[in-house]
Structure 1
Amino acid sequence: MKNIVCFLTVILCSKVIAQSADLNKTKNNNPIFKGWYADPEAIIFDKTYWVYPTFSAPYEKQVFFDAFSSKDLTNWTKHPRILDTAAVKWAKKAIWAPSIIKHKNKYFLFFGANDIQSDNEAGGIGVAVASKPEGPYKDYLGKPLVDKFYNGAQPIDQFVFRDKDGQCYLIYGGWQHCNIAKLKPDFTGFIPFEDKSVFKEITPENYVEGPFMFIKNNKYYFMWSEGGWTGPDYCVAYAIADSPIGPFKRIGKILEQDPKIAVGAGHHSVIKIPNSEKYYIVYHRRPLTETHANSRETCMEEMHFDENGFIKPITITNEGVKAQVIK
Structure 2
Amino acid sequence: MKNKLFYFWLTLFFTGTGCHDPKYSGNPILEGWYADPEGVIFNDQYWIYPTYSDSYSKQVFMDAFSSKDLIAWEKHERIIDTAAISWADSAMWAPAIVENGGMYFLFFAANDIQNNQSVGGIGVAVSETPSGPYRDYLGQPLLDTIVNGAQPIDQFIFKDTDGQYYMIYGGWRHCNIVRLSDDFTKILPYDDGSSFKEITPDQYVEGPFMFIRNGRYYFMWSEGGWGGPNYKVAYAIADSPFGPWERVGVVLEQDPEVATGAGHHSLINVPDTDDWYIIYHRRPLSETHHNHRVTCIDRLEFDDEGFIKPVKITFQGVEENRL
Structure 2 partner of 1:67? 64
Structure 1 partner of 2:36? 39
Task: Tell me the distance in 2 between the aligned counterparts of 1:191 and 1:114.
Answer: 24
Letter in 1 for 2:298: E
Structure 2 partner of 1:299? 296
The count of residues paired between Structure 1 and Structure 2 equals 304
| Partner residue of 1:144 out of 141, 146, 155 | 141
Structure 1 partner of 2:9? none
Displacement of 1:217 after TM fit? 0.6
Matched position secondary structure for 1:325: coil
Structure 1 partner of 2:105? 108
Task: Tell me the distance in 1 between the aligned counterparts of 2:192 and 2:219.
Answer: 23
**Deviations 1:183-209, CA, capped at 9 Å, x for gaps:** 011101111111111010000000000
Tell me if the contact between 1:28 and 1:318 (Cα under 8 Å) persists in the aligned partners. Answer: no
Displacement of 1:56 after TM fit? 0.1
Task: Tell me the distance in 2 between the aligned counterparts of 1:121 and 1:95.
Answer: 15
Tell me if the contact between 2:24 and 2:320 (Cα under 8 Å) persists in the aligned partners. Answer: no
Letter in 1 for 2:32: G
Task: Tell me the distance in 1 between the aligned counterparts of 2:36 and 2:183.
Answer: 26
Letter in 1 for 2:35: A
Structure 2 partner of 1:265? 262
Matched position secondary structure for 1:203: coil
Map 1:166-205 to 2 at 5 A: 166-205=163-202
| Partner residue of 2:89 out of 84, 92, 99 | 92
Structure 2 partner of 1:133? 130
Structure 2 partner of 1:309? 306
**Deviations 1:83-109, CA, capped at 9 Å, x for gaps:** 010000100000000000000000000
Structure 2 partner of 1:226? 223
Letter in 1 for 2:212: I
Letter in 1 for 2:294: E
Q: Identify unmatched segments of 5+ residues in structure 2.
A: 1-19
Q: TM-score, normalised by structure 1?
A: 0.91
Structure 2 partner of 1:278? 275
Tell me if the contact between 1:282 and 1:300 (Cα under 8 Å) persists in the aligned partners. Answer: yes
Q: TM-score, normalised by structure 2?
A: 0.93
Task: Tell me the distance in 1 between the aligned counterparts of 2:72 and 2:230.
Answer: 30
Tell me if the contact between 2:25 and 2:319 (Cα under 8 Å) persists in the aligned partners. Answer: no
| Partner residue of 1:287 out of 281, 284, 287 | 284
Tell me if the contact between 2:150 and 2:176 (Cα under 8 Å) persists in the aligned partners. Answer: yes
The yes-or-no answer on 1:82 pairing with 2:79 is: yes
Task: Tell me the distance in 2 between the aligned counterparts of 1:102 and 1:27.
Answer: 29
Tell me if the contact between 2:253 and 2:262 (Cα under 8 Å) persists in the aligned partners. Answer: yes
Letter in 1 for 2:103: K
Tell me if the contact between 2:25 and 2:320 (Cα under 8 Å) persists in the aligned partners. Answer: no
